[in-house]
């Protein structure tokens, strides 16, 4: 499960929409579990998509996995709407930032 979550989060960070969708599909039995699975910083896939400012991925996740809208992170207990990306380009972020 952790390996699959990391694959999902990396696909989002890299802007690989098709890869994200192939891992996280509503039809896949474990799609809901992967959608809300948190990394070490307490962020689920929707947090990462928002931080990367990827509208297509954000809309896909929020539409198909609505439970992600209520997931706070473990670090500061922020809900999704409280995130304000400091840098517009996710490529400048390092893996340790996630």
Instruction: Tell whether 98 is covered by a domain.
Output: no
Instruction: Tell whether 22 is covered by a domain.
Output: yes
Angle at 71 between CA 65 and CA 77, to 5 degrees: 165
pLDDT of residue 25: 76
Q: What range does the domain containing 38 cover?
A: 2-82
- pTM across the whole model: 0.73
Structural domains counted in the chain: 1
Q: What is the pLDDT of residues 27-82, one digit of tens each?
A: 656 678 889 999 988 899 999 998 898 999 999 999 999 888 888 776 655 555 44
| CATH code, domain with 59 | 1.25.40.20
Instruction: Tell whether 51 is covered by a domain.
Output: yes
């Amino acid at each position: 499960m952790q390996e699959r979550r990391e694959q999902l989060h990396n696909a989002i960070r890299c802007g690989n929409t098709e890869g994200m969708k192939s891992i996280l599909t509503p039809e896949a039995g474990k799609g809901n579990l992967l959608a809300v699975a948190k990394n070490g910083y307490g962020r689920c896939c929707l947090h990462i998509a928002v931080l990367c400012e990827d509208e297509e991925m954000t809309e896909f996740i929020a539409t198909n996995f609505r439970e992600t809208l209520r997931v706070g992170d473990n670090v500061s207990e922020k809900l999704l709407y409280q995130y304000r990306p400091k840098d517009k380009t996710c490529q400048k972020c390092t893996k340790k930032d996630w």
